[in-house]
Amino acid sequence: MADNSFPDGVPSDSLEAAKNASNTEKLTDQVMQNPQVLAALQERLDNVSHTPSSYIETLPKAVKRRINALKQLQVKCAHIEAKFYEEVHDLERKYAALYQPLFDKRREFITGDVEPTDAESEWHSENEEEDKLAGDMKTKAVIAEKEAAAAEEPSPKGIPEFWFTIFRNVDMLSELVQEYDEPILKHLQDIKVKFSDPGQPMSFVLEFHFEPNDYFTNSVLTKTYKMKSEPDKADPFSFEGPEIVDCDGCTIDWKKGKNVTVKTIKKKQKHKGRGTVRTITKQVPNDSFFNFFSPLRASGDGESLDEDSEFTLASDFEIGHFFRERIVPRAVLYFTGEAIEDDDNFEEGEEGEEEELEGDEEAEDDDDAETNPKV
């Protein structure tokens, strides 16, 4: 057996331990002499010791008991809030009936079934005065030239590709549309929102109305979004109003060879015994906007969805909400792009504020560097 001791009888591992302890002590001294390290340690200790949960734990039992009573009141508030949103849904249903005649007339103008009167077509732009001055400066020759051009200008029926243009303009929708979806969407004539009847579970239906086309026989494709307006029993404090919890699509009756949601691939198979090869055709799923009508279902059996499925479902809910809240009520502004410009300006403003804050933070960092130079 090897001898692990020095001649004076001191074990080598004991000397190594003493050496490591000495090095650790020196390193600790160096760290403790660095004010920046000390400040960071103190900040971390302060954060740990002053978290809300740690503070609550320090309170007397009598105070904790009163806090529990406040939570009971908060749950009752959440249930009252849920009732409030149910009444809001009733109001939505009421006013939807008032909007609908206007939306019906909108469809007639878009399809060309009805031509708007001069009074209905009159619109005063923000640059009306500039337009008037420019008009006064036009010569008779220019006016005659424009009149001649207008006479030759084609006059299509209604507003061609109205809803398809909205799909192209809105990023959230254009990302779903494939090139082979476009000819189909050009046949889309109207999108409607229908709310659930009184006394029925809260929901809304999106109706996509199509003119006769070469792709499917349906005149209307539907997507139903089911909603819930009640606090979760397991987590009542998370309630923030009605939420979409599930959705149902519809069956599209595709004409032969026109189903864009699947594609046909050829695959070769080799017989194990004879070694002969045959070619088979197989249909596989294909990316398409029309998969929108065959949605992923929320799990109702208590099993949780995987991360990708959760994301897909959340995106679907967001699109349904956007159709209901923005696209259908303000369709003409998404067609012209005015609503999109408003959204972009709002987002840019938020980014600008963030940049200003970052600038302030940098300035504060510079001040700190001057008053607290590094050692």
Rounded to an integer, what is the distance from CA 15 to the centroid of its chain? 64
The pLDDT of residue 41 is: 63
Beta-carbon neighbour count of residue 312 at 10 Å? 14
* Domain range for 70: 59-115+158-236+246-298+317-342
278 lies in some domain:
yes
**265 and 225 part of one domain:** yes
**Alpha carbon of residue 188 to chain centroid:** 23
Q: Which tops the pLDDT comparison, 29 or 45?
A: 29
pLDDT band at 356 (very low <50, low <70, confident <90, very high): very low
pLDDT band at 72 (very low <50, low <70, confident <90, very high): very high
Same domain, 25 and 111: no
CA-to-CA dists, residue 313 to 52, 244, 305, 310, angstroms = 34, 10, 10, 5
For residue 60, CA distances in Å to 46, 67, 69, 204, 343 come to: 22, 11, 15, 49, 50
Cα separation of 50 and 96, whole Å?
50
Task: Examine residue 45 and state whether it is found in any structural domain, yes or no.
Answer: yes
More confident residue, 312 or 273: 312
Residue keyed to tokens 């349906």: 218
30 with 111, same domain: the answer is no
Of all residues in the chain, the percent with pLDDT exceeding 90 is 41
CA gap 343, 351 in Å, rounded? 13
Alpha carbon distance 181, 197 (integer Å): 33
CB 163 within 8 A of CB 182: no
Residue 102 and residue 220 in one domain: yes
For residue 24, the model assigns a pLDDT of 64
pLDDT tens for each residue of 299-310: 655 567 778 888
Question: What value does the mean pLDDT take over residues 119-141?
Answer: 66
Output the six-digit token pair for 353. Answer: 């504020």
pLDDT at 111 over 70: yes
C-alpha distances in Å from residue 115, one per residue of 62, 105, 119, 305: 74, 10, 11, 50
Asked whether the predicted pLDDT for residue 206 surpasses 50, the reply is: yes
pLDDT exceeds 90 at position 162: yes
What is the pLDDT at residue 283? 83
Boundary of a domain, candidates 31, 57, 83:
57
Q: Are 49 and 175 within one domain?
A: no
In the predicted model, what is the mean pLDDT of residues 23-32? 64
Residue 356 lies in a domain: no
- List, for residues 79-108, the tens digit of each pLDDT value: 998 888 888 888 999 999 999 999 999 999
Residue pair 256/325 in contact (Cβ under 8 Å)? The answer is no
**Do 42 and 187 sit in the same domain of this protein?**
no
Stretch 223-245: mean pLDDT, rounded?
84
Residue 146: the pLDDT is: 59
Do residues 225 and 79 both lie within one domain? yes
What does pLDDT average to over the chain? 80
- 342 or 121, higher pLDDT: 121
256 in a structural domain: yes
What are phi and psi for residue 219, nearest 5 degrees? Answer: -95, -20
In a shared domain, residues 266 and 210: yes
Q: How confident is the model at residue 124 (pLDDT cuts 50, 70, 90)?
A: confident
Measured CA to CA in angstroms, residue 181 lies from 32, 119, 188, 205, 232 at distances of: 67, 37, 11, 22, 39
Of 326, 362, 375, which Cα lies nearest the Cα of 34? Answer: 375
Do 32 and 105 reside in the same domain of the chain? Answer: no
pLDDT above 50 (res 212): yes
How would residue 223 be classed by pLDDT, with cut points 50, 70 and 90? very high
Q: In which band, very low, low, confident or very high, does the pLDDT at 362 lie, cut at 50, 70 and 90? A: very low
In the chain, the number of structural domains is: 2
Asked whether residue 347 carries a pLDDT value surpassing 60, the answer given is no
Q: 153 or 361: whose pLDDT is higher?
A: 153
CATH number for 226: 3.30.1120.90
Give the three-state DSSP class for 32.
Answer: helix
161 band by pLDDT with thresholds 50, 70 and 90: very high
Percent of the chain with pLDDT over 70: 69
Residue 330 in any domain: the answer is: yes
Residue 330 confidence (pLDDT): 96
**Would you say residue 364 lies in a domain?**
no
Are residues 105 and 229 both part of a single domain? yes
Is the residue at 219 inside a domain?
yes
- pLDDT at position 249 over 80: yes
In a domain, 9, yes or no: no
Helix 35-49 to helix 12-32 angle (10° resolution) is 90
> What's the pTM?
0.69
* 50 and 70 share one domain: no
Q: Poorest-confidence range of 48-62, 173-187, 254-268, 304-318? A: 48-62
Cα 70 from Cα 67, distance rounded (Å):
5
- 105 in the same domain as 184: yes
